[in-house]
Amino acid sequence: MAGRHAGSRKRGQRGSDAPEGGEIYLEYTVVGAQMRAVAIDAASGIEVTVFGPAKVLRDELGRLAVRKLQRRLAPQDEKNEADRPAPNDTGTSRLV
């Protein structure tokens, strides 16, 4: 039975959420009324953390952590495009 709970880390998660050719480690910890999910990219060691209510399903929080990790690992050019505001069609204002 001890082996069942030792699986708080999922080794080598693959699928549509996993980065190309990479492994992601997921770790879940309950902290009071919250659950903490950490997603770690095995290749780079980069990790991200998300929190949610302890009542939420682990898989939902894990998917959120994986998506946050994907965004963190995205190439810098893609990040800049995603964060750039939409162009102003009127041309009346400018960013200072």
User: What's the pLDDT score for residue 82?
Assistant: 59
Q: With respect to residue 90, please indicate whether it lies within any of the assigned structural domains.
A: no
Q: With respect to residue 57, please indicate whether it lies within any of the assigned structural domains.
A: yes
Q: With respect to residue 91, please indicate whether it lies within any of the assigned structural domains.
A: no
Q: Which residue has the tokens 């770790």?
A: 27
Q: pLDDT of 41-60, one tens digit each?
A: 999 999 999 999 999 999 99
Mark residue 58 as left, alpha or beta (left: phi above 0; alpha: psi -120 to 50; beta: remaining).
alpha
Tell me which amino acid residue 15 is.
Answer: G
User: How far from 31 is each of 28, 65, 70, 71, CA to CA, in Å?
Assistant: 10, 16, 25, 25
Q: With respect to residue 83, please indicate whether it lies within any of the assigned structural domains.
A: no
Structural domains of the chain, count: 1
Q: With respect to residue 44, please indicate whether it lies within any of the assigned structural domains.
A: yes
Range of the domain at 61: 2-75
Tell me which amino acid residue 93 is.
Answer: S
Query: pTM, whole model, 2 decimals?
Result: 0.60
Closest CA to 23 of 7, 44, 2, 6: 44
Q: With respect to residue 42, please indicate whether it lies within any of the assigned structural domains.
A: yes
**42 has which bridge partners?**
none
Q: With respect to residue 94, please indicate whether it lies within any of the assigned structural domains.
A: no
Q: With respect to residue 71, please indicate whether it lies within any of the assigned structural domains.
A: yes
